[in-house]
Amino acid sequence: MQAKTTCPYCGVGCGVTAELSEQDGCRTLTGVGGDPAHPASFGRLCVKGSALHETLGQHDRLRRARVDGLETELGQALDGVAERLAAIRCEHGSNAIAGYLSGQLLTEDYYIANKLFKGYLGTPHVDTNSRLCMASAVAAYKRAFGADAVPCNYEDLEEAELVVLSGSNLAWNHPVLFQRLRAAKSRNPLMRVVVIDPRVTDTCELADLFLPIAPGSDTRLFNGLLSYMAAKGRLDQRYLERHTRGSGEALAAAREDAPDIATVAHHCELDPERLETFYYWFASHLHVVTLFSQGINQSASGTDQCNAIINCHLAGGQIGLPGAGPFSITGQPNAMGGREVGGLANQLAAHMDYHTPGAIERVTRFWRTEHLTPTLPEAPGHKAMALIEAIERGEIKALWIMATNPLVSLPDSRRVRAALERCPLVIVSECMAHNDTLALADIVLPASSWAEKDGTVTNSERRISRQRGLLPPPGDACHDWQLMAGVARRMGFGEAFAHVHPAEIFDEHARLSGFENDPAAADWRIFDISGLAGLGREGYDALAPIQWPVNAAHPQGAARLFEEGRFVTGDGRARLVAVTSQPSVQQRTADAPLILNTGRIRDQWHTMTRTARAPRLMHHRPEPFIETHPEDASARGVVEGALARLHNGLGEYIGRVRLTTAQRRGEVFVPIHWNDRFASRARASELIAAVGDPLSGQPESKRGVVQLSPR
Ligand code: SF4
């Protein structure tokens, strides 16, 4: 028996064909393959996706709830959650309650979380680990286009004349998209690829030009490009005049920041000739896609870096066309689905912000929360790192963490641990029996996992796909939306959380996206998926992948946005944003003379709770490592293959040394995956300061300062 579903790992969102067998009423997942009909992947899977059936970990699943360390019936645990939340709300107010969600949740889970926390508990403090992933791109898109709207799609990558990969190791982190790009390049020998990254990565295999940029200098690089385009008469004046505002200010800032190639080359530590080649290629092609990822987003200047890229595309009119546009690719499988329902602390619901005119009243009417006290919050809540600070201050008394392991993934993890230890109520919904954060939970709720969860996810090109429930959850495990609905019912909100199937939640989500929609308002139409309302269970089960918006104007979805040059700002014009380079507050010191870079490796996912279960996924990099330049190692008495120690005032990391000239001198790289579960002292987040972008709140996880010593 076969069933179609979607991979739960990266933001490519590949289609999966699952092989199922059934014996004595017991169903098992025996294998997976690529779904040839899925338009994101056309039958491809990477090594992680092709090992999905090996990582279910049935022997190590969380099957029972726990309250204060004691195993208990799920119903009693939900009673405990409801009673304790009600008590905290009564004594300290709604704002003492917070939720921390995950890009691993399905859109239906996210919708119920947003409705419960904001709509019914009345707290704005609901954020997500997607804050660590694409918050800077979101903030930049909003500044430029008036909305969090990714203009491009995967076909654009294939149709481009020039593809610029900036801060993205596509070969390891989005492998199927890399395969699509490689195939497109082999079909079109005229296509050029530029890779911009401090490290030589496997992505460089496709590079016609590689720029080993100094970390954190991307704003200057793209400001230099804007200056160059102006100097060479390559600005698309017609596009700028008709479709944008702010070009004068942006250009003035760019000229001041990056007046000429020599200045940019000096600050970005690049060869001037290579730099000029990049600028010439960008300026002389119309069909250019700049794909960017965590190397751009995870910075204290992440939003400005994104806007510097977007500025160049607007200035060249390289947007809204086949094979053109600034394309942020998300790290997680449903980072975008979470944004669709409002799962960021600065969002309200259905892509509406708190300051969107009439939004609070509209959502209140839709959710029928007028009678509640308090009703919907009126201002944004705490973003991820600010949530931790609010716990430290004693303001947040209850935190419900779902499908994520913040003790490993948030920066300055020792501080995160201390904060969670002092939080009076920590609730963790989790599918695996062991992770670092579970150990700090007062109440543990067993959740369903991939292959059991049933709902939708949205990938990096706005494509909504079905993730299908193929197996029953083990023990008492339930879907996250069911756990929340169980608590909601116990708190007296049963009528609003009476859904019995995810199709009903999706329907409500689709209806909210078009509720009281002004057909003339572009900022509504763009997120409107009301065309997917009323599918019923059958239609929902059969839902084929489709790209939002889906409405009367786009009944089959929309592959590309802004084709008419009309944006979702009040006047319909995009904004170029004046940005200038800002040095990171984290600079080398005598005690910490090396810049630390962190990232994923090819065959692992996040904190390895699933991928570590497949032996073949452990072969690629079997243990924590430190990549360092041979000269930096030699200067510190560190040798290839030995254990070494990275340390700073925040913590330490121990890993096996890998000497490589792919690493720039003065910089080191470590993977983000390992943690206490592997009895290793190799938690990268321990070395990362809780510094973030002031606009997006995204942590600067790509940068730390450390010392390297022999073990
Ligand atoms: Fe899964 Fe991403 Fe690999 Fe596709 S590329 S199979 S979505 S991990």
Nearest atom within ligand 1 for CA of residue 176? 5
Probe residue for ligand 1, chosen from 4, 5, 6, 7 as the CB with the greatest number of ligand atoms within 8 Å = 7
Residue 247 amino acid letter: S
Q: Measure 636 CA to ligand 1 centroid, in angstroms.
A: 39
Distance (angstroms) between ligand 1 centre and the Cα of 41 equals: 9
Q: What is the whole-number distance in angstroms between the Cα of residue 177 and the centre of ligand 1? A: 9
Rounded distance from Cα 153 to ligand 1 centre (Å): 16
Q: How far is the CA of 33 from the centre of ligand 1 (A)?
A: 12
- Ligand 1 center from residue 8 Cα (angstroms): 8
Largest alpha-carbon pair distance within the chain? 74
As a dihedral over the C-alpha atoms of residue 414, residue 417, residue 423, residue 426, rounded to 10 degrees, the angle is 160
**What span, in angstroms and rounded, lies between the C-alpha atoms of 112 and 342?**
11
Q: Where are the beta strands (DSSP E) in 217-295?
A: 244-245, 288-292
Rounded distance from Cα 619 to ligand 1 centre (Å): 18
Answer whether 135-329+571-575 and 594-710 agree in fold: no
Tokens 């005119």 belong to: 357
State the CATH architecture for 65-133+333-513+527-547: 3-Layer(aba) Sandwich (3.40)
Please provide the CATH number assigned to the domain covering 2-54.
3.30.200.210
Match 């940029």 to its residue by tokens: 213
Query: 183-213 in b/e burial notation, b at 16+ Cβ within 10 A?
Result: ebbeeeeebbbbbbbbbbbebbebbebbbbb
Which residues pair with residue 467 across a beta bridge?
455
Distance separating alpha carbons of residues 599 and 426, to the nearest angstrom: 28
Dihedral sign for Cα atoms in the order 225, 229, 234, 238: positive
Cβ pair 327, 335 in contact under 8 A? no
The model carries a pTM of: 0.97
Q: Which residues line ligand 1 (CB under 6 A)?
A: 7, 9-10, 12-14, 41, 45-46, 48-49, 174-176
What are the CA-CA distances from residue 252 to residues 224, 264, 280, 584 (Å)?
A: 11, 16, 20, 23
Residue boundaries of the structural domains of the chain = 2-54, 65-133+333-513+527-547, 135-329+571-575, 594-710
Q: Which of 14, 44, 202, 293 to mutate to test the pocket of ligand 1 (most atoms within 8 A of CB)?
A: 14
CA 382 to ligand 1 center in whole angstroms: 31
For residues 134 and 140, is the Cβ–Cβ distance under 8 A?
Answer: no
Q: Which amino acid is at 566?
A: R
For the chain, which ranges sit under pLDDT 50?
Answer: none
Q: Cα(602) to centroid of ligand 1, in Å? A: 10
Name the CA radius of gyration of the chain, rounded: 24
Report the C-alpha gap between 37 and 5 in whole angstroms.
Answer: 11
How far apart are alpha carbons 527 and 514 in whole angstroms? 8
Pairing state between β 425-430 and 398-402: parallel
Report the C-alpha gap between 425 and 412 in whole angstroms. Answer: 21
Atom of ligand 1 nearest to the CA of 40: 4
The confidence score (pLDDT) of residue 525 equals 73
Helices (H), 316-445: 335-341, 359-367, 384-392, 406-409, 413-422
Nearest to 300 by CA among 413, 383, 406, 216: 216
Fold of 135-329+571-575: Dimethylsulfoxide Reductase; domain 2 (3.40.228)
Ligand 1: which atom is nearest the Cα of residue 49? 6
Best residue among 12, 55, 173, 332 to mutate for probing ligand 1's pocket (most ligand atoms within 8 Å of CB) is 12
Give the number of the atom of ligand 1 that is nearest the alpha carbon of residue 459.
7
Omega prior to 374 cis, within 30 of 0: yes
Indicate which atom in ligand 1 lies nearest the CA of residue 6.
Answer: 7
pLDDT of residue 521: 66
Query: Model confidence over 667-682: pLDDT tens digits?
Result: 999 999 998 777 679 9
Instruction: Identify the pLDDT of residue 336.
Output: 82
The bridge status of strand 625-628 relative to strand 70-72 is: unpaired
Is there a cis peptide before residue 549, judged by omega within 30 degrees of 0? yes
**Number of other residues whose CB lies within 10 A of the CB of residue 615:** 10
Q: How far is the CA of 543 from the centre of ligand 1 (A)?
A: 20
Please state the atom number of ligand 1 nearest to the C-alpha of residue 177: 5
If 0-12 CB within 10 Å is exposed, 13-18 middle and 19+ buried, where does residue 618 land?
A: middle
566 alpha carbon – ligand 1 mean position (Å)? 33
The residue whose C-alpha atom lies closest to atom 3 belonging to ligand 1 is: 46
CATH code of domain 594-710: 2.40.40.20
DSSP-assigned letters across all residues of 350-384: TTEETTSTTHHHHHHHHHT-TTSSS-S-SS----H
Distance from the Cα of residue 27 to its chain's centroid = 33
Mutate which of 10, 16, 605 for ligand 1? The one with the most ligand atoms within 8 Å of its CB, which is 10
Residue 546 CB partners (closer than 8 Å, separation 6+): 463, 464, 532, 556, 557
Ligand 1 atom closest to 50 (CA): 6
Q: What is the pLDDT of residue 564?
A: 94
The pLDDT assigned to 523 comes to 55
Going from the Cα of 174 to the center of ligand 1, the distance in angstroms, rounded, reads 6
Using alpha carbons only, give the angle 196, 199, 204 rounded to the nearest 5 degrees.
60
d(CA 102, CA 128): 5
Work out the end-to-end distance of the chain between its first and last CA atoms, rounded to an integer number of angstroms: 52
ipTM field: 1.00
Q: List the residue whose alpha carbon is closest to atom 2 of ligand 1.
A: 10
Pick the atom of ligand 1 nearest to 16's CA. Answer: 6
CA of 617 to the centre of ligand 1 (A): 14
Q: Report the distance separating Cα 711 and Cα 654, nearest Å.
A: 8
What is the pLDDT, as a whole number, of residue 330?
Answer: 87
Please say whether the beta carbons of 447 and 478 come within 8 A.
Answer: yes
